[in-house]
Amino acid sequence: METVTLTADEQAAFFKIVESLTGTCQSGVYKKDLLLNNLVRRLNELKLLSFPEYILLVSEDDAEYDRFLSLMTIHTTSWFREMPHFELLAALIEERLKGKKGDQLIQVWSAACSTGQEAYSIALTLEGLRLKYPNLNYKVHASDIDPVSVSVAQAGTYDLSGLSSIPVMYHSFFSRTGHSLKISESIRSRMSFFTASLLEVDSTTIDEKMDFIFCRNVLIYFDRPQVEKIAKNFSTCMNANGHLVIGHSESIDATNVGFTLKKFSTYQWRPKHVVRKGDPQVEVALQSKFHRRPDLIVIGASTGGPNILGNFLKNMPLPCPPVVIVQHINPDFATGFARSMASASGLRLVTTDGAVELLENCIYLALGDYHLTVKEIDSKRFIVPSFDPPMNSHRPSVDKLFLSVSETSIPSVGILLTGMGKDGADGLLAMRRSGVSATMAQSKESCIVYGMPKEAIELGAAQVTGSDQYLSQVLRSLIEKKFEKAG
């Protein structure tokens, strides 16, 4: 049989339909090829020879519309995927249950549940806890945009091959028939399945308030504004101090919606969350010899930096001290990265291929293969490029920048974020020892690569440690002078 081939215009129309129906941004060749293959396979199954024919069928047949939604959705799920999340779920609930009497209801929502293995893994974890804490009552809600997947999840019947991924302690909650596994009625009676888009579901469509929301490995298919909208929607559906669990390779702009990263890509939501005086880490930062608002912010990052810096610096409070960033990046991409940082932060990008004065509301990055150094000249402060040899195998080097700052009298904040190696650790220590700088390093749990921050923390270079979101909060607090110097 002849295989249908879509024209360029038909492909563009197809991707536009996908985006309008699912909300996901159609970026990346791999994903587009996967969706096109799904479409062509379906056309072949129906023995249709043109894309317009199929779209007409979808518009007239509700069952085919559901099938169309299914083939547009990336289905990747498995039993107890990313096990640390389930271990943390159990630990947090057990901590809540200890010493408590009376019925304790836990509500969990598995958003983007696909065919249901994640939702049932959550339920099995809770059922296991219920054997130890009989007063535990729970309900697991599960949703997906794909109605076909939701119907599979509701049935609760799976291939026997999945049993090897399920801890032995939960095997008794399944019955076996031939090559199939069926989840027990005692579990399914506590489940609620529904079809919904992540961009549309919020407190107006969900009556209950959730203690935990799992939304893992799906946010990567949305752009940043959409991810922020989804996170805000989730916050409207949560109990105070509830937890949002996302994929290990994903992140959200936590500060904007009151989330704080805890560990294992799990965020806790606190209504109207702000960093308050009395937080011990903030107090440590304020006990440095800061007599006034900092005059300079210097940041170093390597592997993983481009993934978090946009959110870290998003919409910086104005007026803002000059911000200097050293990010290990291929010089061919340095200019584009610098522009994206300026756009995210709301600061003006200044070219650094010659000595330039440091000014408020400006951001400075190396746009090529050279170091950035800070110097004081005739009572003014300057960024001065340097073509000295690489330091720690890098040019620009974070250590080169931080060490130059430590030799000045400028009240500064030095921040070392995710990255491989040790660049920046010695320089951050020198800044701390200078007596006029506050120093911070990103914690292990939130790092993509815990190399550079680890070296700095082990040297005792960081006065404040925490997630990138937490450090961003502390930095903004110092800029806005929300706190007086401690002591």
To 10 degrees, what angle do helices 51-60 and 8-22 make?
30
pLDDT surpassing 50 at residue 472: yes
> Out of 61-70, 133-142, 466-475, which region has the weakest mean confidence (pLDDT)?
61-70
Residue-wise pLDDT tens digits, 346-377: 999 999 989 999 999 999 999 999 999 999 99
Rg of the Cα atoms in the chain: 26
| Residue 75 clears pLDDT 70, i.e. is over it | no
**Tokens read off for 314:** 């998003």
Q: Domains of the chain by range and CATH?
A: 8-71 (no CATH), 83-269 (3.40.50.150), 280-479 (3.40.50.180)
Among 133-147, 220-234, 282-296, 394-408, whose mean pLDDT is lowest? 282-296
Rounded distance between C-alpha atoms, residue 7 and residue 479, angstroms: 54
**Which residues are part of the catalytic machinery?**
302, 328, 423
Whole-prediction pTM: 0.49
**Confidence tier at 287 by pLDDT (50, 70, 90):** very low
Of the given ranges (2-11, 19-28, 324-333), which has the lowest mean pLDDT? 19-28
* Burial of 69 per CB tally in 10 Å (0-12, 13-18, 19+): buried
- Which pLDDT score, from 0 to 100, does residue 382 have? 97
Query: pLDDT, tens digit, for every residue of 393-448?
Result: 999 999 999 999 999 999 999 999 999 999 999 999 999 998 889 999 999 888 88
How far, CA to CA in Å, does 211 sit from each of 217, 235, 246, 328, 469? 20, 11, 14, 39, 21
Kind plus residue range of the DSSP H or E element containing 285:
helix 280-286
Is the preceding peptide bond at 411 cis, omega within 30 degrees of 0?
A: no
In whole angstroms, give the CA distance from residue 310 to residue 343: 9
Evaluate if residue 249 carries a pLDDT over 90: no
- Band of the pLDDT at 271, cuts 50, 70, 90? low
Q: Which amino acid is at 353?
A: D
Mean pLDDT of 88-111: 89
Whether residue 235 has pLDDT greater than 80:
yes
Contact 148, 69 (CB under 8 A): yes
Residue 275 CA: distances (Å) to CA of 213, 257, 280, 469, 475: 24, 13, 11, 11, 10
